[in-house]
Structure 1
Amino acid sequence: MNLSQIWKALEQDVTEVHDFGLAKRRILPKSRLDFFLGILTPDGTKLFEFEAGLPFPSVEIELTRGFVTIIEDTKITLKLTHESYLDFFTSLIDDISSYTNQATSKEQAMHMFLSRLQQWQLFLRRCSPNGLGEEAQRGLFGELYFIRSYLPLEKIEAWQGPRLLPHDFQLPGFAVEVKAVSTKLHQKLKINSEKQLDDRAAGTLYIYHLSIQPGKSAGESLTDLIDALRDRFTGHALQSQFEELLFLSGYSDNHRAHYEKIKYTIRNESVYLVREGFPRITELDLLQGIGDVSYTIATASCTPFAVPISDLKLRFSEDSSWKA
């Protein structure tokens, strides 16, 4: 019986409960670990329980769209708060329980459960029940295009964008910020924080500007690009790491049909070197108490800072540990 069938069975169970209570059923019946789906009556709230058998460590619980997390001694409960998230919630339960079920001890199971839950929380920061919006799709396409074009597969851990770090790619001695801009829009680079173009910790900082034309027929969709990269990672030791980063980016195969509607044609690639005089705002420019700054830069003002793409390629070959 799959999880969707268990939900239906529980819905039938609660019709027979006429008081306050909880109808629940164990999932993964062959597992040594105790996972349950449940429905509270009379409000019909759906939940997922993991009874670890040991007290959970004290951890900070992040507020998450779609569900709340409650830890009570040896039990952790995830309660669905919006029915629009039910498909995601079910996928989350399937993924976390299957992942945690690989544990060889109760203590390891607790840590694996919490670790996987944190990854889902990052995922849901980026993604709505309907998938990534057009801007987020375009941004992910740009980062993946950069990976396919320039990043050696064995250095996929340099992709830091999915982990919500300041720069999309952090390499030894330099970093790259990727900006994919639609040619339907006035050519501006959107900067999301005062840290994004701060090169003090990054070393040399480059902006990779990808100008793309969205359409419905010509070009390559986000899913086309993902499939191409998956083919390259098939059998590679870092295949699972690529999939994890893709997941943290907010991508789910559940939305493939949605992402296949838009195709992108590459119009131009540019690389800018962020150095003295580059139009930007950093923490050093802000008065005390000001933060979370976002702004745009006209690409025309970046032209004096353009460098050949070959300069960026050279940086990959300067350190032997970064050669493909």
Structure 2
Amino acid sequence: MREPSASVFDFLAKDVSAAGSFHSRKSGTTAAHGEVLFAVDAGGRPTLLVPAGTLVRAMADWHSKSLSLQTLQLAVDDGKRPFMILRCLDTKLNHQFGLLADDVLDAIESNPDKASSAVTATLDRWRNLFEAERGSLLGAAHLAGIMGELLVLQQLAESHGARALSAWQGPKGHRHDFVLRDCSLEVKATTNHNNLVVTIHGGRQLAQPDHGELYLRAFQLERTPVGTSVPGKIAQLIELGLSRLDLLTALEGAHYSDADASTYEEVKFSVLSEKSYLVDESFPRITPETLVPPGMVERLSNIAYSLDLGQLEETSLSLEAVVLADAGPS
């Protein structure tokens, strides 16, 4: 298995080259015109050097505040040769650039004869993510909530493969976190050691889905230095085959920016307990159906309430048995 690009760039950055040159290392990925190289420039900025057949600078050159793409002649052992040079210009995005480089290498390996097209096509897909505006840093409670959803996503991916990502609809604004063909899931997480109390937001978060039943999946998490961080869980999901770009794009919808991954690496969680509940007519909740007269929920704003799950009856929910909305039974 190929070493993650981000790890190689970190290693190379420990020994940057003299001004005007690159410190490079072979990637193990070969294009039609030679082997792709990992590199860092004199400023330690991560760079991917892709051998090109001809010098087509006008067609390829491009830059933004975060990335640049150039086609230049570089001196190599057998003389000067043209390379496409994809470089990260924002050090806060180095980790994210490593994931972009992984995607570029995968695309080149799939079609070595069209390496230049692989670079530009992959860059086009990732460009919006690199140019997205970053918000403020997330606190531990918000990260715990994301971790809970990623834990469910991991369980689904382990049973249903990379298609499981399509079920994660919460970051897209759906009222439920996961939407499946036969049910929907709302996910909650708390770092409270003493009880399983979660916060419900709005009058529709626990409303019945359009199809099937609604389940609440609750995690009791503990912050610990030997646990797993959100960036660590993202890496595990990528190992399961989830699209790097699609996963990071979904996380942007959850207000998580991979540009802050180095900070979030320090916030790690372990799972103390995991419980599931069927949200039916006997489940305590505020929804349009539970308020009278009908339609009253539309007149109430800023609804938020705490729900103690400790005394409620648990239910058995196997994520191996659920059916993804875009596929038949797995």
TM exceeds 0.5?
yes
- What residue is the counterpart of 1:168 in the other structure? 177
Match of residue 179, structure 1, among 188, 202, 208: 188
Matches within 5 A, 1:120-131: 120=132, 127-128=135-136, 131=137
CA distance in 2, matches of 1:202, 1:265: 33
Q: 1:278 maps to which residue?
A: 283
Secondary structure class of the residue paired with 2:328: helix
Aligned to 2:152: 146
Give the structure-1-normalised TM-score.
Answer: 0.57
Q: Which residue of 2 aligns with 1:231?
A: 239
SS of the aligned residue for 1:314 comes to coil
Aligned to 2:315: 307
Task: Write the mapping of 1:238-277 to structure 2, written as runs, cut at 5 A.
Answer: 238-277=243-282
Q: Number of aligned pairs?
A: 231
Report the 3-state secondary structure (helix = DSSP H, G, I; strand = E; otherwise coil) of the residue aligned with 1:267: strand
Matches within 5 A, 1:56-205: 116=128, 120=132, 127-128=135-136, 131-151=137-157, 152-153=160-161, 154-184=163-193, 186-205=195-214
Aligned equivalents of 1:253, 1:276: Cα separation in 2: 40
Distance in 2 of aligned mates of 1:185 and 1:280: 22
Q: Cα distance, 1:254 vs. partner?
A: 2.5
Asked whether the equivalents of residues 155 and 322 of structure 1 are also in contact (C-alpha less than 8 Å), the reply is no
Partner of 1:321: 328
2:306 aligns to what? 296
| SS of match in other structure, 2:235 | helix
In the TM superposition, residue 197 of structure 1 has moved relative to its aligned partner by 0.3
RMSD: 4.3
Give aligned-pair identity as a percent.
Answer: 24
Listed as ranges, the gaps of 5+ residues in structure 1 are: 6-28, 38-85, 96-100, 104-108
Is this contact kept in 2: 1:170–1:202, CA < 8 A?
no
What letter matches 2:253 in structure 1? L
Instruction: Read off the aligned partner of 1:289 and give its amino acid letter.
Output: R
Structure 2 residue runs without a partner (length 5+): 1-19, 21-42, 44-56, 66-89, 101-118
Deviations 1:60-81, CA, capped at 9 Å, x for gaps: xxxxxxxxxxxxxxxxxxxxxx
Cα displacement (A) at 1:36: 7.8
Tell me whether 1:221 sits opposite 2:237 in the alignment: no
Identify the range of structure 1 (166-175 vs 242-251) with the bigger mean alpha-carbon deviation. Answer: 242-251
Instruction: Answer yes or no: is the 8 Å Cα contact 1:120–1:248 preserved in 2.
Output: no
Higher helix fraction (1 or 2): 1
TM-score, with length taken from structure 2: 0.56
Displacement of 1:249 in angstroms is 2.5
